[in-house]
Every structure is written in C-alpha cells, then in structure tokens.
Amino acid sequence: MSEFLQFLFSGIGNGAIYALVGLGFAIIYNASHVINFAQGEFVMIGGMATVSLIAGGIVPVWLAMPVAVAVAGGIGMALEKFAVEPAALRRGGGASVVGLIIITIGASIFIRGAVEVWLGKDFHRLPPFSGSEAIDIAGAKLDPQILWVLGGLAAVVAGLKWFFERTRFGKAMLAASHNRLAAQLVGIDIRRVLLASFGLSAALGALAGILTAPITLTKYDIGIMLGLKGFCAAILGGLGSGFGAVLGGLALGLAEAMAAGYISSAYKDAVAFVIIVVVLILMPGGLFGAKSSERV
C-alpha cells in the first residue's frame, strides 16, 4: 500500500507538470491553430531564469520568481511577434502546418542555444519552498514541494476559468478561437489575441518550471522531453480542450509512475508515447476531443 501511494504521489507531481505544459499547448492552439513546439523551453526558462536571478543577486529572492515568469512571458510574445506572426498572418495565405511546426521547432533550438551560451550546460537546483522534510502518509513519503505543484496547478486552472469566462479580453480570446473571421468582424483584434495567447502559455510554462525545479533540477535541455510529453497530454485530452489537457497530463503522469514502479523503470519515458499512439489509433480525436466531420 505504501509503495502504491509512493508511486501515486510521484505520478501526480509529474502529471501536474505535464498538465501545465499541455494547457500551454491548448491555449496557443485555440488562439492560432499553431502547435508551439517551443512550449517545453518556457518550462526550462522559468527554472533557469529564477536560478540565475537569485545566484546573480539581481533581484531579491521573493521577486525572482515573478520576474522569471514575466521574462518567459516576454520571450513568448517575442516568439509570436517575430517568428509566428510574420508566417501565420502573411498576405495571400498563411504558412502550412508543417511550416509553422518548423518555425516553432527552430525557435526551440534557438532558445536552447541561447541559454546554453549565456547560462551554461550545468544542472541547477532551486531550494524547496517549504523545507525538504517529507510528510509521512501511511508509510509513503510525500515531498511537500509536490503540494506546491498541485496548488499551483489548481490556482492556474481556477485563474484561467475566471479569465476566459469573466473578463472581456478572455471572452474575446474564446470568440477568436471559435471563429476568427467572425471575431474580427465584431472588432476583436486578432493580433492582440495571438500575442496574449503566447505570452500566457509561456508564463504558465515558466511557472511549471519554477515549481518543479526543487524536485527535478533544471538544465538548458530539459525542455525537449517536457515539451513532447506536454504535447502528448494536450493530444490525449483532445487538442484545444484545456480541461482535457489537465486530465491528460495527470493521466500520463500516473501511468508513467505506475509503469516505472511495477513494470520497468528503463522504459518510463516510452509510456507516454505508447499510450498516445494506441489512443490515437483507437480514438483518432483524443479522449475528450469533439467528433468532427470535415467540411468539403
């Protein structure tokens, strides 16, 4: 029993991260129909920027995290402004799906390269937020940082729900995701929606990176795998569904932890991809995706 609880805790902790990254994919996909393969890099930026800000003594410790989130948000908006928008909103038809995928992958290589040059290739660690003393539950040890991660996820979900349902700009973003042309006709500025979606997703990614940095350490290249698994979470839940991305992320995290614990830890990283391939073959729209029919 204690063993099972142990796997459960670690699975939920990782799952919450995949959920936060998956949410980022969903928000950008809704606003722009772009899959942002640089999403994982924002997780890395969040952790690395916080570590560097604290180590460099540039800002006080309590300010380092919000500044790091803001930095990531800024980089996200720059990515939209200078790389995605020129291609996606080109006159005479936007870039193809493949073209946009290559642009965001190019951006992820660029960001990784920049961090490698400026901050080095070492592992970094943030101190835990509330001590490193594990909480004992029925014989299993719960890292208190996991509670912070879960709390962060809950806060983000509640915040996003409020933003998209109660604020004027949030509603505008939702409208644009349903029908871009109709949204433009009622005066919604699509460029601002796109910019905001990238900024918001990047900030969410960075938050995930900061919350987990005390558990998993951070390094210039951790974003690749996290990004891909976040993409798995978003697809598993059905692209564009924020609720689906959260459930998909938690499900992947749990499956991964159980498989690593009971089957084979060597193949832990393969679990998410095996699940996604099987699910896509059986249910081509993801678990919570709407059944769509093609309009001719």
Contact, 198 vs 80, CB < 8 A?
Answer: yes
- Please answer whether residues 37 and 108 qualify as being in contact, where contact means their C-beta atoms are separated by less than 8 angstroms: yes
Q: How far is the CB of 274 from other proteins (least distance, A)?
A: 6
- Among positive and negative, which fits the CA dihedral 85, 82, 22, 154? negative
Q: In the bound complex, what is the minimum distance in angstroms from residue 272's beta carbon to other proteins?
A: 8
Torsion of CA 195, 196, 200, 202, to 10 degrees: 10
Binding residues among 57-86 for other proteins as defined by CB under 8 A: 83, 86
Based on CB atoms, which residue is closest to other proteins, 96 or 179? 96
Of 105 and 134, CB closest to other proteins: 105
What type of residue is 155?
Answer: A
Among 5, 105, 157, 175, binds other proteins (CB under 8 A): 105
What is the 8-class DSSP label of residue 217?
-
Does the protein bind other proteins through residue 43 (CB under 8 A)?
A: no
If one asks whether residue 99 binds other proteins (CB under 8 A), the answer comes out as yes
Contact flag: residue 106 with other proteins (CB under 8 A): yes
Stretch that binds other proteins, among 5-13, 142-150, 202-210, 224-232 (CB under 8 A): 224-232
136 sits in which H/E element? strand 135-137
Tell which one of 55, 138, 155, 277 touches other proteins (CB under 8 A).
277
CA distance readout (Å), 92 to 81, 87, 89, 95, 195: 19, 11, 9, 10, 21
Closest CB 171 distance from other proteins, rounded Å: 25
Q: Which is nearer to other proteins, 63 or 225 (CB)?
A: 225
- Report how far residue 198's alpha carbon sits from residue 41's, in angstroms, rounded to the nearest whole number: 13
Q: Is there a contact between 206 and 46 (Cβ–Cβ < 8 Å)? A: yes
Q: What is the binding site for other proteins (CB under 8 A)?
A: 29, 35, 83, 86-87, 90, 95-103, 105-114, 116-117, 224, 228, 231-232, 235, 239, 266-267, 269-270, 273-274, 276-277, 280-281, 284-286, 294, 296
